[in-house]
Amino acid sequence: MPRGPKKHLKRVNAPDNWMLDKMTGVFAPKPRAGPHKFRESLPLVVIIRNKLKYALTYREALMILMQRLVTVDTKVRTDLKFPVGFMDVVSIEATQESFRILYNVKGRFQLHRIDSSESSFKLLKVKRAQLGPGGIPFISTHDGRYIRYPHPDIKVNDVVKLNLENGKIEDHVPFAIGNVVMITGGRNLGRVGILHDIEKHPGSADVAHVEDLAHRTFATLSSNVFPLGHGSKPLITLPTGGGVKLTVLEQKR
């Protein structure tokens, strides 16, 4: 038996949020190990070929990347299987386009078009905040970054606004009641609303209660909540609909 992780992925086993058709082939590109988890990422070839339709085949997408025209978070990426995940900024130099990877209210990946001013930063959720070797404080974020000497007010579950040009933290959004948030996991994946309450359950998972713009309330795990901004104003632009999930009848109107 071969050793190590599997390097192949059957198309029918690919994550649903990639929106790949199952009749085009047998296999799908499997993301390499990188800043995002396998089920929470999207290979770069799927973005170029299936989402943006800039290539018809795998080989055409390879030729586009080898011209060093595509950047992820301002860094040139030439690997077709590089994992791109939530909040990443994908820019294409030849077309002067920039996209932020978000979720829509159906839980699928969405390439949200942004302008040049917004493509210079991204939001990062803090996963750890502790002291490293030599007593140096650091935080680790949801995309695998380690940032040393953060502000003492930055805690776990907070969100920091990172300047992609110089790697400095420009702002931070606390995980607090009254702030606008997006859900990044569970049945309410992709919904946006105002955080209303946090139920503390010592020894178990905390539960967050959120109310969207349509005044519908729902509950989810606190670990699924991603703060977007102070109060009701997010730091980033949101896709059409503002993260409000409509019922079947509302969609027909």
| Region label for 64, one of left (φ > 0), alpha (ψ between -120 and 50) or beta (otherwise) | alpha
Q: How confident is the model over 163-167, as a mean pLDDT? A: 90
- The whole-angstrom separation of Cα 176 and Cα 192 is 15
Q: How confident is the model over 18-24, as a mean pLDDT? A: 88
The answer to whether residue 248 scores a pLDDT higher than 90 is: no
Residues pairing with 182 in the sheet? 192, 226
Mean pLDDT of the chain: 92
The pLDDT value given to residue 72: 94
The answer to whether residue 1 scores a pLDDT higher than 70 is: no
Provide DSSP, 125-180.
Answer: EEEEEEE-GGG-EEEEETTS-EEES--TT--TT-EEEEETTT--EEEEE-S-TTSE
- The whole-angstrom separation of Cα 103 and Cα 60 is 27
- What is the percent of the chain with per-residue pLDDT over 90, rounded to a whole number? 80
Asked if 134 and 163 count as a contact pair (C-beta separation under 8 A), the reply is: no
Closest by CA position to 234, among listed 112, 71, 51: 112
The pLDDT value given to residue 253: 77
In tens, the pLDDT along 37-75 reads 999 999 999 999 999 999 999 999 999 999 999 999 999
Task: Tell me 38's DSSP state.
Answer: G
Q: How confident is the model over 132-138, as a mean pLDDT? A: 93
Q: Which long-range contacts (CB under 8 A, 24 or more apart) does 1-5 make?
A: 5/33
The pLDDT value given to residue 55: 94
| Region label for 4, one of left (φ > 0), alpha (ψ between -120 and 50) or beta (otherwise) | left
The pLDDT value given to residue 24: 86
Q: How confident is the model over 220-248, as a mean pLDDT? A: 90
- What is the percent of the chain with per-residue pLDDT over 70, rounded to a whole number? 100
The pLDDT value given to residue 245: 86
- The whole-angstrom separation of Cα 31 and Cα 34 is 8
- The whole-angstrom separation of Cα 108 and Cα 175 is 24
The SS3 call for residue 198 is strand
In tens, the pLDDT along 88-115 reads 999 999 999 999 999 999 989 999 999 9
Find where tokens 């490293």 sit.
Answer: 132
250 phi and psi, to 5 degrees? -65, -30
Asked if 132 and 218 count as a contact pair (C-beta separation under 8 A), the reply is: no
Residues pairing with 114 in the sheet? 98
Asked if 233 and 242 count as a contact pair (C-beta separation under 8 A), the reply is: no
